Chains A and B, each alone.
Chain A
């Protein structure tokens, strides 16, 4: 693992963001819109629902955390897609760059871009809608960590999928969080789901986060060890996603997919 090569991958992304407002605006605009929308919905529900229950930490907090996971995933996959869009695979992968260095460079980019989104959401949710993060206590850090790791795993796996299936498959990438959300119980307890969906939720790290979050808000008993399961699963998924990416890359090198991805081989 060479630091300069990892830095090169991240620097390329920094250059792209620095020179392009159209890349910077989406880092905070969409999450700001989401927080604004769900902030007003939460306020409205507070008015019409039974008094004494506050939807802000339960609903708006869930939106914030879920958007964070999505931003992390998109941070990794968008950085990868920059190489797809600029037809840069041949240039990048004909260098001494290791796959682990490449993926780490993407992850560093995702950390930077997702932090912009997280900061925007935190400021807006607390300043405009009075969301207090003290409600969640120290568990908030664990929630963010599990969702961050899950987003990274999802981003790497999604990028591997695009590498395997070709540039057009990026349209499978974007809805991935939306596909997982119903199973993860982002907005409702897992007990709401039918049995088979609850079984699926058992292997989804975010499900442990949102169950924990609601337990804290509702002041119901909750085992912190459940979050440890979520954390372990998310680490496992990162390892699995990295392995998947490496295997897809090796297959692409063996079959000629990587060379043809950008260059129409004529010889």
Chain B
């Protein structure tokens, strides 16, 4: 399991005006390389799964794309805008939802959406808030503080925030981790429809391989900060002699553990 395969070659995607183009991205701390020279691109409407065991470099990659962590080297272009030199403009067409970044619990659902809507300069903000409250079944929690919502409701609020500016690039870190299967299915459908309707690119990290197979057009496997595999989640396991994506994931994780032990 060494060579990376690509459903759509990086160069072809870059030439086709991708929403996200990551080139030779590297992040090194003192004595540790967290992300090591990775390149990938995501086309409009494409949902890409970023997979890998804990410590593989997924969150580091996401943080760099969100502009809260500076790369040691490499480039990130969002909707054609260089993140490193035009950070504010690039982040204007980006948004995210992550399990570790809950919205302030001391603001109500509507207040959170209004504050972040203003930060993203969303036009017709009140209408957009109403639309999202309805879409994520949050209307009855409009005036409820975020901190007293259940974890599933907080996740829906976080997703509503993530879609408030109709981002061209949406980053989702375990978006369905704390919600029931029925709601998770609805959310997957909502995200898919959003990507289709807005020609938005989605980078989706998850440890739920069944979800990844269902949602993602393509997956990227990270291990030790390097891009190990890339391809169609429904085809890739067969190419490596595995029955399904979960087995492939376990194989990658074991390889990482062996690498760490060695």
1/0 per residue A210-248: CB within 8 Å of B?
A: 000000000000000000000000000000000000000
Residues of A within 8 A of B4 (CB): none
Task: Say yes or no: B68 contacts A94, CB within 8 Å.
Answer: yes
Indicate if A7 sits at the interface (CB-CB under 8 A).
yes
Q: Which residue of B lies closest to A95 (CB)?
A: B119
Q: How far is the CA of A258 from the CA of B87 in the complex (A)?
A: 16
Q: How far is the CA of A4 from the CA of B62 in the complex (A)?
A: 26
Q: CB within 8 A of B60: which of A91, A95, A267?
A: A267
Q: How far is the CA of A2 from the CA of B57 in the complex (A)?
A: 34
Given contacts A11-B114, A16-B106, contact A265 B91 (CB under 8 A): no
Tell me how far the C-beta of B119 lies from the nearest C-beta in chain A, rounded to whole angstroms: 4
Residues of B within 8 A of A24 (CB): none
Tell me how far the C-beta of B145 lies from the nearest C-beta in chain A, rounded to whole angstroms: 8
Residues of B within 8 A of A266 (CB): 54-55, 58-59
By CB atoms of chain A within 10 A, which of B34, B70, B91 has the most?
A: B70
Indicate if A122 sits at the interface (CB-CB under 8 A).
no
Task: Say yes or no: B69 contacts A267, CB within 8 Å.
Answer: no
Task: Say yes or no: B121 contacts A267, CB within 8 Å.
Answer: no
Residues of B within 8 A of A198 (CB): none
Q: How far is the CA of A259 from the CA of B101 in the complex (A)?
A: 10
Task: Say yes or no: A265 contacts B60, CB within 8 Å.
Answer: yes
Q: CB within 8 A of A94: which of B67, B70, B102?
A: B67
1/0 per residue A86-122: CB within 8 Å of B?
A: 1111111111111000000000000000000000000
Q: How far is the CA of A267 from the CA of B256 in the complex (A)?
A: 13
Task: Say yes or no: B59 contacts A267, CB within 8 Å.
Answer: yes
Task: Say yes or no: A256 contacts B55, CB within 8 Å.
Answer: no
Q: CB within 8 A of A263: which of B98, B104, B121, B205?
A: B98
Task: Say yes or no: B107 contacts A93, CB within 8 Å.
Answer: no
Chain A interfacial residues counted at CB < 8 A: 38
Residues of A within 8 A of B145 (CB): 19
Indicate if A142 sits at the interface (CB-CB under 8 A).
no
Main secondary structure of the interface of B (DSSP, over half): mixed
Q: How far is the CA of A77 from the CA of B89 in the complex (A)?
A: 28
Indicate if B240 sits at the interface (CB-CB under 8 A).
no
Task: Say yes or no: A258 contacts B103, CB within 8 Å.
Answer: no
Residues of B within 8 A of A2 (CB): 121
Task: Say yes or no: B107 contacts A263, CB within 8 Å.
Answer: no
Task: Say yes or no: A86 contacts B119, CB within 8 Å.
Answer: no
Indicate if A171 sits at the interface (CB-CB under 8 A).
no
Residues of chain B from 70 to 117 with CB closer than 8 A to chain A in the complex: 70, 87-89, 91-92, 94, 96, 98, 100-108, 111, 114-116
Indicate if B179 sits at the interface (CB-CB under 8 A).
no
Given contacts A256-B69, A259-B68, contact A97 B63 (CB under 8 A): no
Indicate if A36 sits at the interface (CB-CB under 8 A).
no
Q: CB within 8 A of B119: which of A5, A15, A253?
A: A5
1/0 per residue B39-65: CB within 8 Å of A?
A: 000000000000010111111111100
Indicate if B193 sits at the interface (CB-CB under 8 A).
no
Task: Say yes or no: B61 contacts A11, CB within 8 Å.
Answer: no
By CB atoms of chain A within 10 A, which of B103, B104, B111, B161 has the most?
A: B104
Tell me how far the C-beta of A102 lies from the nearest C-beta in chain B, rounded to whole angstroms: 10
Given contacts A264-B100, A265-B63, A267-B60, contact A16 B29 (CB under 8 A): no
Residues of B within 8 A of A264 (CB): 100
Given contacts A86-B105, A267-B55, contact A8 B69 (CB under 8 A): no
Indicate if B136 sits at the interface (CB-CB under 8 A).
no
Task: Say yes or no: B59 contacts A5, CB within 8 Å.
Answer: no
Q: How far is the CA of A250 from the CA of B62 in the complex (A)?
A: 18
Residues of A within 8 A of B94 (CB): 94
Q: What are 23 A-B pairs with beta-carbon distances under 8 A?
A: A2-B121, A7-B118, A8-B119, A12-B115, A15-B108, A16-B106, A19-B106, A20-B106, A90-B101, A91-B104, A93-B67, A94-B66, A94-B68, A96-B91, A96-B121, A250-B70, A254-B70, A256-B60, A256-B69, A258-B69, A259-B63, A266-B54, A267-B54
User: Footprint of B on A, CB under 8 Å?
Assistant: 2, 4-5, 7-8, 11-12, 15-16, 19-20, 82, 86-98, 250, 253-256, 258-259, 262-267
User: Footprint of A on B, CB under 8 Å?
Assistant: 29, 34, 52, 54-63, 66-70, 87-89, 91-92, 94, 96, 98, 100-108, 111, 114-116, 118-121, 145, 161, 205, 222
The 9 nearest A-B residue pairs measured at CB: A267-B59, A8-B118, A267-B58, A86-B104, A263-B100, A94-B66, A96-B92, A95-B119, A96-B88
